[in-house]
Chains A and B, each alone.
Chain A
């Protein structure tokens, strides 16, 4: 008992040991006070602190227990015993020191992980271990992790075997440790919470890792804002975690802020600190956000910059789609295949191809270096698509050889691929002219930029119901679509575009012409 008393007071006198908090401790490691004066015999042992259960050495004789009342007297009496203890202590403990039995818990392994599986031990009961020597291996989710010892000492008792699940904070093993050791900071896992996707680099501020106080970055920030040392704050959360309330209560006790009830008079910033809902106090609500352009967006930067160098002109035309509307309905009526949905676009694409056969210059590409124009053999009509990743223009190959039904299916396939970001390089390359059905989203007119090295691009506005005159000069409701043709004025001139457009418009307004010219 005397030994116990001596050890307790020794612990108290070493602030570094008792003050260091690691995540595994479930309550502040203040050792219990020695028995009060007046009790001569061995007192009932107080409940042991979680980490430092004191060793009861067998040869302690109660007859040598002091009967004096003051702590000072105890020290004097214990002087002789110290030497005795030194000689009788276990070999793990250097001469002149007493041993402590330390419970070593499983440290926090990372945010959200409450337990690990013990895989294997590297040491056995009775083994001497050095500081930083591997003790065992555990598995935490995807990682196997070696747990190293914080102490130099002797393995006294192992609590778990291979295959056991160990909860964070549970005692893995007990060790006999010489008590003059400086306890190394819990360096197995970070004590601060980290969410996946945030910086992989640990903040350089040492307090996050080496102080050993368990809390979230938000709470640390709060403590910093009040100018408080988080290590001084008693944590009431799980495993001694310092919570926001703990910081605030401490701040109140220090007179740094008023109680919550009077927070109405506080500045907005402080009121927000006290509100439960706000996750990060003090963070401004409107912040600049930086987005790095990647993938399709990045490609667009490049392609549009190049397109801007080409002298464009734009030609606007109106197409009457009444016949087209009827045609689409007719297609739908004979359609027995549920997977196919008929829209306007395939017909517009096919009729465009027909017009291109007559005006191949619009289906070409311009070679600046040699001043040559390549009239492309195939009509690979690109369809601009807005995906969640940005603008992409896959093309339908050889439209001149495809039926409207085949175009419909291919269009659907490309849409599907685009929406899942699965377009192949072949799908995107080799286009000869581009159609942008921006009207599907909205808009009447556009001034589309060329999809180089093409020389023409066509933007389709939305179909509007507008009053028009029929042949008898009566007003009737008509489905009208506005079409803007953008063209490379180095290669193509207005007259050619106008004639091309007339050709196209003619077929769309009178679809039977398609039949007439079809091969």
Chain B
């Protein structure tokens, strides 16, 4: 259901993709926006959020808080913890994180089937165009890496007719922030039990500037879509009825987990009859 954009190479019409760029927007607000764009619109979107504040822990849709997060320091330092609507693992995001989210109708990319692996692979090819000239870029399992070091983590959400593929990119990260996260039980094979500092790398050491990166993403998308910058204000409609599933865990939620020794998996959705 995507609106036809301008003609691309070979005369084939490129579908329209609306581009929303933000800077420093709180991750909770960004995720709520994404959910709304996914579930309540029929357009293709790219959302770029350059940096976020405050530093926030973002968990995937399921997963035990006690296994993924060091709750005591988090409570002590009042670090917000958000459970997002897509799958995947836990990250701590801050001003050094750049988010790129792609929301598409399942028919938007010709020949791309709306399945996790297909979308992941397609994204790897897209980002390959962005990163190849800066380093030895790889899509390793579900991560973007330079050589063997991860700099981008991915998650997806696939609905009946649409899908989201979103990435948190480590332009820079604060080593101390990593201490709020536990090393996850489930890790990609190529991690090889490395700790955060050995496993990750910073994009800023490979690329001259954030804008070179974001411009590169927009250019790469432009090969397949007709990218149209859209004002954030236009997007923020009065859709009061929509309740996103991305939730901020309250202090109380976290305290309960600590006291009950993390026996429950908090936040998994109830039956919606």
- Interface residue ranges, A against B (CB under 8 Å): 109-111, 117, 119-124, 127, 132, 134, 137, 139-146, 148, 162-163, 189-190, 194, 196-202, 204, 209, 294-295, 298, 388-389, 420-422, 424-425
Closest-CB distance, B103 to chain A (whole angstroms): 14
* Measured CA separation A389–B133 after assembly (Å): 11
Q: Which of A140, A198, A295, A425 contacts B87 (CB 8 A)?
A: A140
Considering only residues 129-155 of chain B, those with a C-beta below 8 Å from chain A are: 132-136, 139, 141-142, 146-147, 154-155
Contacts of B271 in A (CB 8 A): 120-121, 124, 162
Closest-CB distance, A414 to chain B (whole angstroms): 15
Cβ B120 vs Cβ A162 within 8 A: no
* Measured CA separation A200–B110 after assembly (Å): 11
Contacts of A110 in B (CB 8 A): 115-117
Contacts of A425 in B (CB 8 A): 208
* Residue from A132, A198, A200 having most chain B Cβ neighbours under 10 A: A200
Contacts of A163 in B (CB 8 A): 62, 265, 268
Cβ B142 vs Cβ A197 within 8 A: no
Interface pairs (15), CB distance under 8 Å: A120-B268, A120-B270, A120-B272, A124-B273, A139-B61, A139-B87, A143-B155, A144-B61, A144-B85, A145-B116, A162-B269, A194-B121, A196-B117, A200-B119, A202-B113
Cβ B133 vs Cβ A142 within 8 A: no
CB of B159 within 8 A of chain A? yes
Cβ A198 vs Cβ B273 within 8 A: no
Cβ B160 vs Cβ A134 within 8 A: yes
Contacts of B160 in A (CB 8 A): 132, 134, 146, 148
Cβ A194 vs Cβ B268 within 8 A: no
In the complex, which residue of chain B has the Cβ closest to the Cβ of A425?
Answer: B208
Contacts of A111 in B (CB 8 A): 117
Given that A197-B124, A197-B139 are contacting pairs, would A143 and B111 also be in contact in the complex, using a CB cutoff of 8 Å? no
Contacts of B120 in A (CB 8 A): 142, 196
* Residue from A111, A132, A145, A388 having most chain B Cβ neighbours under 10 A: A145
CB of B57 within 8 A of chain A? no
CB of B86 within 8 A of chain A? yes
* Measured CA separation A110–B132 after assembly (Å): 28
Contacts of B111 in A (CB 8 A): 201-202, 204
In the complex, which residue of chain B has the Cβ closest to the Cβ of A142?
Answer: B88
In the complex, which residue of chain A has the Cβ closest to the Cβ of B111?
Answer: A201
Given that A120-B269, A422-B206 are contacting pairs, would A143 and B135 also be in contact in the complex, using a CB cutoff of 8 Å? no
* Measured CA separation A219–B273 after assembly (Å): 43
Cβ B118 vs Cβ A202 within 8 A: yes
Contacts of B87 in A (CB 8 A): 139-144
In the complex, which residue of chain B has the Cβ closest to the Cβ of A194?
Answer: B117
Cβ B155 vs Cβ A134 within 8 A: no
In the complex, which residue of chain A has the Cβ closest to the Cβ of B134?
Answer: A295
* Measured CA separation A298–B129 after assembly (Å): 14
Cβ A145 vs Cβ B122 within 8 A: no
Cβ A146 vs Cβ B159 within 8 A: yes
Given that A144-B87, A389-B136 are contacting pairs, would A200 and B122 also be in contact in the complex, using a CB cutoff of 8 Å? yes
Given that A142-B155, A144-B86, A200-B121 are contacting pairs, would A190 and B115 also be in contact in the complex, using a CB cutoff of 8 Å? yes
Contacts of A197 in B (CB 8 A): 121, 124, 139
CB of B250 within 8 A of chain A? no
Considering only residues 212-246 of chain B, those with a C-beta below 8 Å from chain A are: none
Considering only residues 38-74 of chain B, those with a C-beta below 8 Å from chain A are: 60-62
* Measured CA separation A294–B273 after assembly (Å): 53
Given that A110-B117, A141-B142 are contacting pairs, would A146 and B133 also be in contact in the complex, using a CB cutoff of 8 Å? no
Contacts of A200 in B (CB 8 A): 112, 118-119, 121-122, 124-125
* Measured CA separation A190–B111 after assembly (Å): 13
Cβ B273 vs Cβ A144 within 8 A: no
Q: Which A-B residue pairs are the 6 nearest by beta carbons? A: A120-B269, A200-B122, A200-B121, A143-B156, A143-B116, A201-B111
Closest-CB distance, A382 to chain B (whole angstroms): 20
In the complex, which residue of chain A has the Cβ closest to the Cβ of B123?
Answer: A200
* Measured CA separation A389–B134 after assembly (Å): 11
Cβ A144 vs Cβ B147 within 8 A: no
Cβ A298 vs Cβ B136 within 8 A: no
Closest-CB distance, A424 to chain B (whole angstroms): 7
Contacts of A148 in B (CB 8 A): 160
Contacts of B121 in A (CB 8 A): 194, 196-200
Given that A109-B116, A119-B62, A141-B116 are contacting pairs, would A295 and B133 also be in contact in the complex, using a CB cutoff of 8 Å? yes
Cβ A145 vs Cβ B132 within 8 A: no
CB of B16 within 8 A of chain A? no
In the complex, which residue of chain A has the Cβ closest to the Cβ of B149?
Answer: A420
Contacts of B157 in A (CB 8 A): 143-145
Contacts of B119 in A (CB 8 A): 143, 200
* Measured CA separation A388–B146 after assembly (Å): 13
Contacts of A120 in B (CB 8 A): 268-272
* Measured CA separation A198–B89 after assembly (Å): 24
Contacts of B61 in A (CB 8 A): 119, 139, 144
* Measured CA separation A132–B161 after assembly (Å): 10
In the complex, which residue of chain B has the Cβ closest to the Cβ of A209?
Answer: B113
Contacts of B273 in A (CB 8 A): 121, 123-124, 127
Q: Which of A127, A134, A294 contacts B133 (CB 8 A)?
A: A294
Contacts of B118 in A (CB 8 A): 190, 194, 200, 202
CB of B92 within 8 A of chain A? no
* Measured CA separation A144–B105 after assembly (Å): 16
* Measured CA separation A339–B122 after assembly (Å): 44
* Residue from B110, B155, B272 having most chain A Cβ neighbours under 10 A: B272
Cβ A142 vs Cβ B154 within 8 A: yes
Further contacts, 11 of them, CB under 8 A, given A143-B116, A163-B268: A110-B117, A120-B268, A144-B87, A144-B156, A144-B157, A146-B159, A189-B115, A190-B115, A196-B121, A298-B133, A424-B205
Closest-CB distance, A146 to chain B (whole angstroms): 5
CB of B19 within 8 A of chain A? no
Cβ A421 vs Cβ B147 within 8 A: yes
Cβ A119 vs Cβ B268 within 8 A: yes
* Residue from B156, B158, B269 having most chain A Cβ neighbours under 10 A: B158
